[in-house]
Amino acid sequence: MERINVGVFDHIERTSSEGPPRQLFEERLRLVEAYEQAGIWGYHVAQHHATPLGMAPSPNLFLAAAAQRTRNLRLGTLVYLLPFYNPLRLVEEICMLDHMTGGRLEIGVGRGVSPFEHAQYRIPFYDARDIYEDALAVLVKGLTSERLTHHGSHFRYDNVPMELRPLQQPHPGFWYGVLSSDNAIYAARRGMNIVSIGGLNSVKQVVAAYREHHHESAGSPQNVNPHLSRPVAGAIRHIYVADTDREAEQVASEAYRAFYANIQKLWRDYNTAVLAFPPEYDLFHRVGASFSGSVASVREQVAQFCEESGCDYLVLAFAWGNLTAAQTRRSFDLFASRIMPDFARRPAVA
């Protein structure tokens, strides 16, 4: 079995804690320090708005703080919701962050999947794909040009001086969140790194489609990562490790109820539901979308993922639902000390 890179994904959810948001942010930053010390490869933050699922609606602010607490951990987004940004401003912030991190930034991009989050910002949901594509074109041009000229369907710039340039040349790597084989093919043709969600069988199909079509990016003007020799295919798994299987099942089931309520909150406000996640933890776990149990049980689950998924990147969510900071840290410490050494490697992505 080949070893695999290990990263962390974080929604930065509102928890059951009654403390102020600054307490949540400080708890997360201490976890980020622990991830660095344990040798985790990358830390990826989501972007959400008007929902308890995401209490860091400006991921760049949080990543700037994380940059000051780390030296080796790669930092990035999964994903920047491009329709929510002026892309010229985002280019400048990406350049700032790449320098503040010492060249450790990764750029996840997407259009967003929640029409209600778009509506809060008066962004027409059915235009989001086109806005995303236009904004992505601006990002690539802005990061690779001394002056930016772009005449697109939504954004127009004429000879703008790019005084800030990224530390990584030609730019940090681009990532894409993948939910289907069609998404995977889109990302493959653009040379993007990918991270998927869903059950193990779904991940296997997505990664197979990605690998099948990745060669189409070679020499293509659509390739946004021509400098990467082997783009990465990863998947997110929620995880909880405890001393016994029974304890892990009880805690993870309760945490999942809170996570499910958070991810459904904005949709329920508009009398609908998001269907990407099942309502019960048992099904979520049985399809392989999560790891939970004792050290021995989780080791077996990770081994199955490594053997069958086709991924070369395992992205774990340790802090989720109503898990306390102490529970999250204990789970992570068990994983880092007793499971991760059997599977992890840390080569460069490029």
pLDDT (tens digit per residue) in 176-193:
999 999 999 999 999 999
CA–centroid distance for 345 within its chain: 19
Phi-psi region of 325 (alpha: psi -120 to 50; beta: other; left: phi over 0): alpha
Least confident range of 58-67, 68-77, 244-253, 262-271:
262-271
- Note whether 139 and 176 are within 8 A (CB): no
**In three state form, how does the secondary structure of 172-241 look?**
CCEEEEECCHHHHHHHHHCCCEEEECCCHHHHHHHHHHHHHHHHHHCCCCCCCCCCCCCCCEEEEEEEEE
Residue 336's identity, in one-letter code, is A
* Structure confidence at residue 20 (pLDDT): 87
How many angstroms from the chain centroid is the CA of residue 330? 22
Please give the share of the chain, as a percent, with pLDDT higher than 70: 97
Judge whether 155 and 147 are in contact, CB under 8 Å.
no
Q: Which residue(s) pair with 238 in the sheet? A: 290, 317
Q: If you ran DSSP here, which 8-state letter would residue 317 be given?
A: E
pLDDT of amino acid 68: 97
What is the C-alpha to C-alpha distance for residues 128 and 349, in angstroms, rounded to an integer? 29
Say yes or no to pLDDT of 35 above 80: yes
Q: 278 pLDDT band (50/70/90 cuts)?
A: very high
pLDDT of 348 over the 50 cut:
no
- Is 214 a member of any domain? yes
Establish if 131 belongs to a structural domain. no
Please tell me the distance from the alpha carbon of residue 309 to that of residue 205, in angstroms, as a whole number. Answer: 9
Quote the CA–CA distance of 298 and 239 in Å, as a whole number: 9
96: its two tokens: 């700032």
Q: What is the predicted pLDDT for the residue at 349? A: 39
Is 135 inside any structural domain?
A: no
CA–CA gap between residue 294 and residue 335 (Å, rounded): 10
Q: What is the pLDDT of residue 18?
A: 65
Q: Is residue 72 part of a domain?
A: yes
**Predicted local confidence at residue 17, as pLDDT:** 61
Q: Is the residue at 41 inside a domain? A: yes
Does the residue 139 lie in any domain? no
Look up the domain containing 304 and give its range: 5-78+174-226+228-342
Asked if residue 138 belongs to a domain, the reply is: no
Show Cβ contacts of residue 316 under 8 Å, excluding neighbours closer than 6 positions: 6, 7, 8, 9, 236, 237, 238, 239, 291, 335
Question: Mean pLDDT over residues 148-176, rounded?
Answer: 97
**pLDDT for 19:** 78
Q: Give the 3-state secondary structure of residue 323.
A: coil
The span from the CA of 261 to the CA of 252, in Å, is 14
Flag whether 329 is in a domain: yes
Please write the tens of the pLDDT for every residue from 262-277.
Answer: 999 999 999 998 888 9
The tally of domains found in the chain comes to 1
What is the CATH classification number for the domain harbouring 272?
A: 3.20.20.30
- pLDDT at position 229: 80
In the chain, % of residues over pLDDT 90? 92
pLDDT at 15 over 80: no
Mean pLDDT of 319-324: 96
- Across 158-180, average pLDDT: 97
